């Protein structure tokens, strides 16, 4: 860690490889897209490198990286939504939350991660943060800027859609 | 409540989001309604399955080569951690200080990538060296820079008591980054004393450090 903090890229690569699996898993589940998740994971480690001097070692590096990863994934979603809203002129926010055209394939019956790709982005983010990562609705509301009630509604919707897709 | 209403509340029931009265009502129904009881068990099983998803997933390709390229470029510059300087000089100033360091490093990186291309001219109060200037001008610039830097560092040292240790560490780390860049330019100049672009980069880098220190002193006083 000290070497990486001093600017040693090889030392940072060791830290990167030790933590990539967790960072990528969160990015992939939040983004619902493998290619986008690769970009997000890289962004997380670029930010981590830039801010590594502020890591004091009070907690595990993985714990330090976790909120950073959530922020990167949520920021990307917000900017994507802004881009979409500039293109799609509508007053109906639900229009941006409709499921993507991509549907779960037959293998989704045994693969929750693949089924996650089919969820509307807002519902997917809340579901991952609550049911996979263990955040409370109040925390999710603060992070995503939605009301607590909206967070709960998104979670219930995500569970229903996933269980339908997975036939559970 | 009817089965349909009960099922609409099952998520809140398993998440513990119902009032005590509502909870009792749903529980009573589930105890006497096998289909709804089955639905509740399936929902709980699904939530447990999700909670047990693997913590790690590996990407399909190796991301390190692309990431390493980014880290070797301008994005690879270390930023001032907000937790340190922000308490001292405020968030806007942190951004400004970070921009100084990033701009400085971008200039250095640009020169490293394309040594034949001179970095863009930077505004300065430390006298810039003209292209093709004799070495004596370079020495004068070094002296001028050393004097300005020493004055500013003395001012910062005088304010040292107001700095949190971690803030001081952040400041030192960033000054070290600038000093590293200066050392590399000086080393390159020793190898190629007549390189006017390097001489210009040296004075520009001097000025950046002086500007950064000035900003820190000024902001700490306000």
Interval A12-67: pLDDT, tens: 999 999 999 999 999 999 998 899 999 999 999 999 998 888 887 777 888 889 98
User: What is the structure's pLDDT at B219?
Assistant: 60
Distance separating alpha carbons of residues B30 and B35, to the nearest angstrom: 8
Whether residues A74 and A120 fall in one domain: no
Tokens read off for B151: 């004055």
Which among A159, A160, A165, A167 is the top mutation candidate for probing chain B, defined by the most B β-carbons within 10 Å of its own β-carbon? A159
Chain B environment of A9 (Cβ under 8 Å): 68, 71-72
Whether residues B47 and B99 fall in one domain: no
Distance separating alpha carbons of residues B83 and B99, to the nearest angstrom: 17
Whether residues B123 and B90 fall in one domain: yes
Last residue of a domain, one of A61, A89, A117: A89
Q: Among A38, A52, A132, whose Cβ lies nearest the Cβ of B59? A: A38
Mean pLDDT across A76-85: 64
Whether residues A84 and A9 fall in one domain: yes
Any alpha helices (H) in A7-106, and if so which ranges? Answer: 9-31, 34-51, 61-87
Whether residues A112 and A75 fall in one domain: no
Cα B115 to Cα B73, B102, B112, B177, B192, distances in angstroms: 15, 19, 6, 20, 12
**Residue of chain B with shortest Cα separation from A15:** B64
What is the number of structural domains in chain A?
2
A64: domain CATH number is 1.10.1740.10
- What ipTM score was computed for the predicted complex, to two decimals? 0.78
What is the longest distance spanned by two Cα atoms in chain B? 97
Comparison of pLDDT for B159 and B2, the residue scoring more: B2
Whether residues B69 and B34 fall in one domain: no
| B173/A53 touch (CB, cutoff 8 Å), yes or no | yes
Domain span at residue B19 reads 3-51
Whether residues B42 and B142 fall in one domain: no
Mean pLDDT across A126-143: 92
DSSP code, position B216: H
Contact A116, A128 (CB under 8 A): yes
Q: Is A21 on the interface with B (CB under 8 A)?
A: yes
Whether residues A77 and A130 fall in one domain: no
Q: Is A138 on the interface with B (CB under 8 A)?
A: no
Contact B126, B145 (CB under 8 A): yes
- Among the residue ranges A37-41, A102-106, B55-59, B201-205, the one predicted with the least confidence is A102-106
pTM above 0.90, yes or no: no
Does pLDDT of A123 surpass 90? yes
Half-sphere CA count of A159, side-chain side, radius 13 A? 29
What is the number of structural domains in chain B?
2
| B59/A24 touch (CB, cutoff 8 Å), yes or no | yes
Comparison of pLDDT for B206 and B71, the residue scoring more: B71
Mean pLDDT across A88-110: 39
Domain span at residue A34 reads 1-89
C-alpha B38: how far from chain center: 51
Q: How many CB atoms lie within 10 A of CB B92?
A: 10
């Amino acid at each position: 860690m000290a070497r990486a903090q001093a600017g040693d890229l090889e030392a940072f690569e060791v830290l990167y490889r030790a933590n990539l699996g967790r960072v990528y898993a969160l990015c992939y589940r939040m983004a619902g897209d493998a290619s986008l998740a690769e970009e997000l994971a890289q962004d997380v480690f670029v930010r981590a490198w830039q801010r590594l001097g502020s890591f004091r070692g009070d907690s595990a590096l993985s714990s330090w990286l976790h909120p950073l990863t959530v922020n990167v994934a949520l920021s990307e979603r917000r900017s994507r939504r802004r881009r979409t809203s500039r293109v799609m002129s509508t007053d109906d926010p639900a229009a941006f939350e409709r499921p993507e055209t991509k549907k779960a394939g037959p293998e989704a019956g045994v693969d929750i991660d693949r089924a996650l790709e089919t969820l509307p982005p807002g519902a997917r983010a809340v579901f991952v943060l609550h049911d996979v990562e263990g955040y409370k609705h109040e925390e999710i509301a603060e992070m995503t800027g939605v009301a607590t009630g909206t967070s709960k509604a998104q979670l219930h919707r995500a569970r229903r859609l996933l269980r339908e897709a997975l036939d559970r | 409540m009817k089965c349909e209403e009960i099922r609409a509340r099952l998520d809140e029931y398993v998440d513990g989001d119902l009032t005590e009265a509502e909870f009792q009502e749903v529980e009573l129904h589930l105890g006497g309604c096998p289909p709804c009881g089955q639905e509740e068990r399936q929902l709980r099983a699904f939530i447990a399955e999700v909670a047990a998803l693997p913590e790690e997933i590996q990407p399909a390709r190796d991301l390190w080569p692309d990431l390493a390229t980014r880290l070797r470029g301008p994005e690879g510059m270390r930023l001032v951690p907000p937790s340190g300087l922000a308490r001292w000089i405020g968030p806007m100033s942190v951004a400004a200080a970070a921009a100084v360091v990033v701009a400085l490093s971008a200039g250095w990186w640009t020169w490293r990538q394309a040594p034949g291309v001179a970095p863009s001219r930077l505004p300065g109060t430390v006298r810039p060296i003209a292209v093709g200037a004799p070495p004596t001008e370079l020495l004068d610039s070094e002296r001028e820079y050393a004097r300005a830097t020493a004055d500013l560092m003395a001012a910062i040292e005088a304010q040292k008591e107001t700095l949190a240790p971690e803030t001081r560490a952040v400041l030192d780390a960033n000054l070290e980054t600038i000093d590293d860049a200066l050392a590399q330019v000086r080393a390159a100049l020793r190898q190629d004393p007549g390189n006017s672009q390097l001489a210009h980069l040296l004075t520009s880098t001097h000025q950046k450090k002086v500007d950064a220190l000035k900003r820190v002193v000024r902001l700490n006083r306000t």
